Amino acid sequence: MTQSRAQAYRDCLDSWINDLRSIYPHVREGVPRTIVHAAGHIFQFLVSYGPVNSWWCFPYERLIGSLQKINTNNHIGGMAESTMMKTIARTANIRRWLRRPDCPTAIKQLKVLFDKSFVPANATIESEPLREIKGSRRAYAKHDGHNFSGFKTHEGNASIIYRPASTDSPRAGQIQWIENIKTSDGDAALLHVRPYQPLRKAVYDPFVRYPHLDVKTYSSTLSDTEHIIQLDDVVAHAARFDYSQGRSVFLNLARD
């Protein structure tokens, strides 16, 4: 995160607020919204803490969602919390006891089953050996921790930003299907991708004025051309939104 990118966010937010009051005059008399005020502080957070994905609340919200799904049998007021804390403490004590040098050999043999049942949060999970995949097609292909699939299997995982060749610029496309091929090192995957057609010059791209936002508008129509690429040619997943005049905007979801 640079000062110029943070300042660009502030300028865009100010422009949105001013244009909103010009287009919809009735909002001038309304009570200022808390969410608009909070959005103004994001500039300070960008400067102090860096990119949003370094400090956003999604991991905490996901944890809260997992906790809410736990069956408590309607026991509230500390009973559920106490049970969870006791379970964590007992699990930690058992792990410590299993690592003691004087732990009986027969008990140590159960440690393998114990670790599989209660995986530590900071444990490094070894990758499973590759299993042979039968057939010429596969539903999914995993690469660098991401799942990719054909649009018939999962449309969200099929929208990608990719390079048709190593020298080409990244472009948006949709995975049609995944070919399974046999190599000397085992199974490999080739992605059959159809690119989205470029936007016609007569059609306006409203996002071109935001160079700091990694988005681009394409036609909502897929090209008849099919590119066959490797997983290394994929830049990232893409979030796609269709809007007016046959346009689709694609947001690069790269974690870099």
DSSP 62-78: HHHHHHHTS--TT--SS
Q: Give per-10-residue mean pLDDT for the chain (256 aa).
A: 90 89 82 83 91 80 80 71 82 83 81 71 54 78 91 93 86 96 84 94 86 90 95 94 91 82
Residue 97 lies in a domain: no
Residue 171 lies in a domain: yes
Residue 62 lies in a domain: no
Single out the residue in 30, 56, 82 at which a domain terminates: 56
**pLDDT reported for residue 125:** 52
Name which of 84, 87, 91 is nearest 67 in CA terms: 84
* Domain assignment of residue 13, given as a range: 3-56
Alpha-carbon distance 73 to 238, whole Å? 41
Do residues 175 and 149 make contact, with C-beta atoms less than 8 angstroms apart? yes
Name which of 250, 251, 254, 252 is nearest 220 in CA terms: 250
Both 239 and 145 in one domain: the answer is yes
| 159-162 and 215-219 beta bridge pairing | unpaired
Residue 192 lies in a domain: yes
Residue 108 lies in a domain: no
0.85 exceeded by pTM: no
Alpha-carbon distance 228 to 193, whole Å? 6
Residue 116 lies in a domain: no
Alpha-carbon distance 196 to 218, whole Å? 6
Report the number of distinct structural domains present in the chain: 2
- β partners of residue 148: 141
Residue 123 lies in a domain: no
Both 45 and 145 in one domain: the answer is no
Do residues 193 and 171 make contact, with C-beta atoms less than 8 angstroms apart? no
Residue 93 lies in a domain: no
State the CB neighbour count (10 A cutoff) for residue 215: 16
H or E element, residue 98: helix 79-98
Give the side-chain half-sphere CA count within 13 A for 220: 9
Both 146 and 239 in one domain: the answer is yes
Interacting residues of 148 by C-beta distance below 8 A, sequence separation 6+:
140, 141, 142, 157, 158, 160, 175, 178, 191, 231, 234, 237
| 247-252 and 227-230 beta bridge pairing | unpaired
Tokens encoding 38: 């909070």
Single out the residue in 34, 56, 78 at which a domain terminates: 56
**pLDDT reported for residue 217:** 94
**pLDDT reported for residue 141:** 92
